[in-house]
Amino acid sequence: MKGKVYLVGAGPGDPELLTLKALRLLQSAELVLHDDLVAPEILQLIPSSAQIHNVGKRCGKKKILQGEINDLMVAFAASGLRVVRLKGGDPLIFGRAGEEIETLRRNNIPFEIVPGVSSAMGAAAAAQIPLTHRRASSALVFVTAHKAAGKDAAEKNTSDWSKFVASGATLVIYMPGQNYSDIAKRLTTAGLAGETPCAVISRATTRHQRTHRTTVLDLHRTPQLAAPTLLVVGEVVQLADPAALVEGFVMPDASEANDGLRPPALFTTFSSQAPRLRTDKEPIA
């Protein structure tokens, strides 16, 4: 009897942004393979009976290769286990889910994808930035600052960014790193005006969130903020939380009533009342 793999989105950080389905799967998992940036509060929702393995790759430092993660999913599911592959944000956006899906299909392993609140959506909501606006931006583009190797790939990246800029779309740049001078150069080379507003959002939806408001021209002055970070570029950034205009940083209220990260205990009531998730070995009534 083969098990099953669930590719589950953990959302941007706040446990309350988990979907109900993600929560149920975590609480019925037999084995969890999680990314490095999944919030500790979310990992605490996993039952002690489940095996938990950190398979994260962070800041260019790989604890484990993607091929090894693929092999683990196949091996554990083939042994009959219910496997949750837990990814930050949404698994289908810069989460390498495509490679994992190919592996699971190739090995005839049953799987299901459970979407999550994407990092971009969570960060924008936390900083109060509307990613589209009928008078400012009618399109939205997600890109990554990571460049593929080789001259041809670098030229293609620059060409793609030029197309995005010409469209007037809001750009959400994943994994910008700390080399903002390089990103600013790529944006201006693509044709973006230096006065275009930008926001760097760090550790979105958590009590440690910081939002730095700047422009493309001054992007190189951005302070080093803790990962994970997202860079939002476009006129919509002008509508960010007004506190960013005054202080340069936005910090959510860290009071007990609004701490940005809710303890797992708050899920107890829901868990005790929610219907139990049927296992793959149980008949459907």
Which residues are known catalytic residues? 35, 57
Half-sphere exposure of 22 (CA within 13 A, CB side): 26
Query: What crossing angle do the helices spanning 66-78 and 97-106 adopt, rounded to 10°?
Result: 40
d(CA 132, CA 184): 22
280 burial type by CB count under 10 A (0-12 exposed, 13-18 middle, 19+ buried): exposed
Q: Give me the amino acid identity at 244.
A: A
177 burial type by CB count under 10 A (0-12 exposed, 13-18 middle, 19+ buried): middle
Contacts of 134 (CB under 8 A, 6+ apart): none
Cα→Cα distances 107→72, 100, 146, Å: 12, 11, 30
